[in-house]
Structure 1
Amino acid sequence: MSLLQKAVRRGRLDLALQAASTLLAISPDRFWRRAGIIAFEDIGVADLTTAGVVTVALEGKRVRHRLGGEWAVAAAITARMVAAPGTAPPMTCSACWKAGRVWPTTASGWSACRSRARG
């Protein structure tokens, strides 16, 4: 549960989706409750649209079914929460963090960063 919230705060879509998938499989009610908490605690007025989308998803299974199903909605709102403004500072990979370097984890920056860490 806390991995989902930490991944959203850190802007780590890969980890957030893994955490969402695991939590949704183990305990769907806990996932939806946590998504609501993240939407209001971490995002809030910084992105009212995302908070509103999450609120709609919390309406229940029927609504989520009409929107594409549990996983489709969970993945979509997780991605929106990660991308919401103000939820995450620029990220670094763990190797750069340990070395004291800041390198953005954009698609191109991440691969460059990882190849630097190896070499």
Structure 2
Amino acid sequence: MLKLNPNSKEAIYKQIENRIIEYILLGIFEADQAIPSVRNLSKDLGVNPNTVQKAYQELEENGYIYFIPGKGSYIADNQPVLHRIRACKLEELANMVNDMIKIGIDKDDIKKIVLKQLGESGK
């Protein structure tokens, strides 16, 4: 089940969208796998069905899911999606590192943090 943060400043539909993208990245959702219906997910999360519909619409427009009338929504082929997500994440990381340098965080401290995270992930 998707987990939302009710205290987040991020809109609920955006949280839903981002969790589904995260689940695709982590391999929890695979290509051609059915995802919960708008009605079921809205009930499970306790949100308005229109909120879930908006998230699904965004996901479909961006190629993360596809819809089959009368059957439901499914995860799109992951390879192009994963490539696009990874490219965005690498760009975010580069921007974050640049921001850290701009505010005076030592490059050695940045390296230590990155190396620590890489060591913890086993990669």
Counting helix residues as a fraction of each chain, which structure ranks higher?
1
Greater length-normalized contact order (CA 8 Å, ≥ 6 residues apart): 1
Larger of the two Rg values belongs to structure: 2
Q: TM-score scaled by structure 1? A: 0.31
Counting strand residues as a fraction of each chain, which structure ranks higher?
2
